[in-house]
Each structure stands twice: as structure tokens, then as C-alpha cells.
Amino acid sequence: MRRNWVSLLCVFAIIAISWIDSQYFNDVVGMADTKRKVFHILFLALVMGIGYIPFAVNNIKWTRQLWIFSYTLVFAIILATGALNKVFHFSTGFMDEIFLLRIWFCSPLPFMAIFVLSKLKGMVNTENKQAPTNSDIDA
């Protein structure tokens, strides 16, 4: 039961972080572009850390691995794109896709997707377990 409360609190924390990021740091007039980008990266790191907590508690290894792998990949893509954009000046359409990637991973949707997949996998595993037969008991 404690795990469910931890997961619920983490979802609410991710929603709050996502809302703050969206309301106060997207298209803000009067804020330096570099400062805004640093806050976006910090909020993404916060979401990663908060989302990791319930997956560390539930002792399902693949959920932790998927969470860490996906966020590490997103960080690498965003940071590499930001660095290379200074040299290659990517198109607005491409940079919009990177923006959407950041928005997606700063939302509670990846957390909910992995959480639901872990619950579905747990349901499938319990359905596949069969009751022991008489021959299993005699052996």
C-alpha cells in the first residue's frame, strides 16, 4: 500500500513541476534564453529523480532500467542538439521536435506509461502461474 502512495505523490510532484515549467519558463518575455534553458534542464532532471523513486521502491529491475535509459538518452539528445545547434543552426522544425521531446519527458506521461506497463506485466505473470497438479505434488 505504501508503494501506491509513493507513486501517487510522485505523479503529483511531476505534474506540479511540469506545470511550473510550462507556465513560467516557456516563451517568457524578459528572461535570458540561457537562463530559461538551464531551468528546463533542471526541471527535466527533477522529473527524472522524482520518477525514479517509485521504480526503486517496487523492486522491478526493468522499470528502473527503462526509466534511467530513456531519460539519459533524452538528456544526451537535448544537450547534443543544443551544442551542435550553435555550429550547424538546425531548422526551426527540427528544433520544435526537440522541444516536444523535452515537453513529453517533463510531463507525467512517461511515468504513467511505465507504471501501467509494470502493472500489466504483473497481471500477466499471475495469470500464467498455474495451480499445482497432483503429479507436481507427488514428485
Whether residue 85 is predicted with pLDDT greater than 60 in this model: the reply is yes
Residue 113 identity: A
Q: Which of 15, 35, 21, 38 is nearest to 110 (CA)?
A: 15
Does residue 121 sit within a domain? no
Does residue 33 sit within a domain? yes
Confidence class for position 79, pLDDT limits 50, 70, 90: very high
Number of H helices, E strands in the chain: 6, 0
pTM: 0.85
Structure-block grid coordinates of residue 116: 501501467
The predicted pLDDT at position 136 comes to 53
Residue with cell 519558463: 25
Whether residue 131 is predicted with pLDDT greater than 60 in this model: the reply is no
Residue 24 is part of which domain span? 2-113
Confidence class for position 2, pLDDT limits 50, 70, 90: confident
Summarised one tens digit per residue, pLDDT across range 118-129 is: 889 877 776 666
Does residue 52 sit within a domain? yes
Does residue 27 sit within a domain? yes
Domain count for the chain, please give it: 1
